[in-house]
Amino acid sequence: MKIKLLFTFFVLFFINMNAQNYIFGKINTEDGVELTDATVINIRTNETVVSNNDGHFMISGRVGDELRFVKVGYERVSKKVSEDNLSSSLQVILIKAATLIDEVEIKKGITGDLKIDAKNLNQQKKVQKLKNELALYISQKSDPRVLAARPGQFVQPKGEGFSIGKVKNKWDDVDLMKYLISALGEQYFIDLKIEKPLIQNFIYYVFAGGFERKNILKYGYCSDADLMRFQRGVLVRISSYRAPQTQK
């Protein structure tokens, strides 16, 4: 009897610890403007949702999960889910990303003074000479004696190495989504009758259909073959994506 009670206790404890909850929240700008179509990602489960017209969102998770908030043109924000977030709304503020202004080159014109003009016009030749000398220096192999250990200096022995655990991906689904839109162009999706505000949602819909992207996210690189594979996935998923609209 005691064994049964103990077993029941551990089962209930395990279910409680692994129970999924829903986190509700709202995303605003630093000026208090509600952000629409901001992406929310649960890093543990890789679940992705998008905020609605009022900036509200709902995503499943539990205490300790990391939520990442992403919006084009804004700085990314990550937050850890706490006990308070399960009972009250999570307020998130995204700050606009700083944009760099391209440097404007001001070229000096001819003044008519031979000494000044000769000095100014020869700057380009000096720069080119420096570049050539640097290129020559870099192409030369270093003398092995430069990197050799000094007498009495400890040298780390070479070995097969060791594992340091799971390597963090260079990309996440948001990075891949942005690349696909950049590589294929928004017109590609518009031609498929996907409205511009729904392009991101459709790409995540293709991802959810089983599009294999493990290596793409790991190395942060999408090859031409991966791009063609994604387009094939689009053709497979487009009919089911439109189905709810055509059945109305």
Say whether 118 sits in a helix, a strand or coil: helix
The domain boundary residue, chosen from 94, 129, 147: 94
Q: Give the Cα separation of 171 and 216 in Å (integer).
A: 8
Instruction: Give the CA count within 13 Å in the CB-facing half-sphere of 13.
Output: 6
Say which residue, 92 or 103, is predicted with more confidence.
Answer: 92
Structural domains counted in the chain: 2
Please give the Cα distance from 170 to 177 (Å, whole number): 14
The phi and psi torsions of 155 (rounded to 5 degrees) equal: -120, 125
Q: How confident is the model at residue 8 (pLDDT cuts 50, 70, 90)?
A: very low
Residue 34 lies in a domain: yes
pLDDT digits (tens, 9 = 90+) for 22-61: 999 999 999 999 999 999 999 999 999 999 999 999 999 9
Q: What is the pTM of this model?
A: 0.38
Q: Collect all residues with Cβ–Cβ distance below 8 Å to 155 and sequence separation of at least 6.
A: 149
* 3-state DSSP of 227-246: HHHHHHHHHHHHHHHHHHHH
Q: Indicate whether 45 belongs to any domain.
A: yes
pLDDT in tens, 210-223: 999 999 999 999 99
Instruction: Note whether 70 and 79 are within 8 A (CB).
Output: no
Is 152 contained in some domain? no
DSSP state of 74: B
Q: Is residue 208 part of a domain?
A: yes
Q: Domain range for residue 44? A: 17-94
CATH of the domain at 39: 2.60.40.1120
Answer with the one of 64, 94, 124 that is the final residue of a domain.
Answer: 94
Report the candidate in 189, 159, 177, 163 with the shortest Cα–Cα distance to residue 217. 177
Q: Are 34 and 52 in contact (CB under 8 A)?
A: no
Q: For residue 115, is it within any domain?
A: no
Residue where a domain stops, chosen among 60, 94, 128: 94
- Given a cut of 70, whether residue 143 has pLDDT beyond it is no
DSSP, res 34 = B
Q: Is residue 141 part of a domain?
A: no
Domain assignment of residue 236, yes or no: yes
Query: What pLDDT sits at residue 12?
Result: 45
Query: Is residue 203, in this structure, part of any structural domain at all?
Result: yes
